[in-house]
Amino acid sequence: MAGIEFSVRHMLEEDLPGVAEVEAGVFTDWYRVYRKDPEPLPERTIEELRYASSRDPEGNFVAIARDGALVGFMFSRTWGRVGWMGTFGVPTQLQGLGIGKALFLRTLEHLRKKATIIGLETMPESGANLGLYIKNGFVATYPTVVLELSLVKEADRLKNVDTDGVATWGAQDRRTRRRLIRQIQEISAAHLPGLDYSIEVEGIHEHEFGETLFSTDEEGRIEGFAVLRTAPFRGEDTSGRAYLHVLAVGPGADADHAVTRLLGGIWSRASRLGLTKVVTGVSSRHAHALELLLGSGFIAIRAAIRMVERHAPPELFTPSNGVNVARWAG
């Protein structure tokens, strides 16, 4: 195939419609081949792309061909000293020409300036993706298990959970929020030095995409928190899905108790909005967290390959008893 001339630059607001179109096209093709799903994927909404690009505004890139066409994109995000790559795509007919690698290397260069741990997740079906990432210094860690909870089937149990100690970010004043942020940072760093989930808590609220729930003890200290997204990713979304972006429990807290309460809070919030499912993912290195979620009615729906740069700290390759549920980090 002939080569292509292109350049890579930061993603701008005016790129978002083009990114939406390329993303829907490339993933429609991917789902057709690998998941036998013939339906065209609706585009991600502009609000969603704005939210995705705001987690690290300098960390999102596009590839532009000589004629001005958008021929690839990559998002990234950082949580403190942890950087995460993706979503990432190049139009199917232009793959294999070096565009993806250029976007990948530019994003990596950006993340290396601030993050000491850099990771990503990819689909096990894609040998090409695994090849690209391995050749560029990444190794697989524990696989992610993607989980789904039916809010309808589990309603009888979840609606009876005592959620008295569950608070929301939206209901707190500024001083309390500052105190909560410090505790979220402590809990994140206890799971992985340098990890800071507070940007997810602030982002979901700023963009009005959902809510963060806290399970607190008698002194008002956080035992655990859950960042719940109730806004859809794509237009015409009839999936009824909410997304649990993060669920983390602090060291020393009773994890079973905190998770049960948070799930009770999640159930009432998502059900009130007419949603019927909650999707999340957890690294299988957190065996206890997986057990807790499977014991709470979640079912495993698929796996993803989680990869980090080869020099990542050894704890990312060893089992942990902590509850650190997220699609992207740890």
- The residues binding ligand COA (CB under 6 A) are 26, 30, 86, 88-90, 95-101, 122, 126-129, 131-132, 135
Report the nearest approach of ligand COA to the CB of residue 84 (Å).
Answer: 11
Task: Please identify, using beta-carbon distances, which residue of 18 and 165 lies nearer to ligand COA.
Answer: 18
Give the 3-state secondary structure of residue 60.
coil
Task: Please identify, using beta-carbon distances, which residue of 25 and 194 lies nearer to ligand COA.
Answer: 25
| Residues pairing with 195 in the sheet | 80
Task: Please identify, using beta-carbon distances, which residue of 129 and 271 lies nearer to ligand COA.
Answer: 129
Report the nearest approach of ligand COA to the CB of residue 153 (Å).
Answer: 31
Mention every residue, 6+ apart, whose C-beta is less than 8 A from residue 235. Answer: 42, 43, 45
Cα–Cα dist 246/84, whole Å:
14
Report the nearest approach of ligand COA to the CB of residue 28 (Å).
Answer: 10
Peptide bond just before 87 cis, omega within 30 deg: yes
Task: Please identify, using beta-carbon distances, which residue of 141 and 320 lies nearer to ligand COA.
Answer: 141
- CB atoms < 10 A from the CB of 110, how many? 21
Task: Please identify, using beta-carbon distances, which residue of 51 and 61 lies nearer to ligand COA.
Answer: 61
Cα–Cα dist 81/45, whole Å:
29
Cα–Cα dist 243/281, whole Å:
9
Report the nearest approach of ligand COA to the CB of residue 171 (Å).
Answer: 37
Report the nearest approach of ligand COA to the CB of residue 131 (Å).
Answer: 2
Report the nearest approach of ligand COA to the CB of residue 105 (Å).
Answer: 9
Task: Please identify, using beta-carbon distances, which residue of 121 and 211 lies nearer to ligand COA.
Answer: 121
Tell which residue, 99, 90, 87, has the closest CA to residue 60. 87
8 Å CB contact between 43 and 24: yes
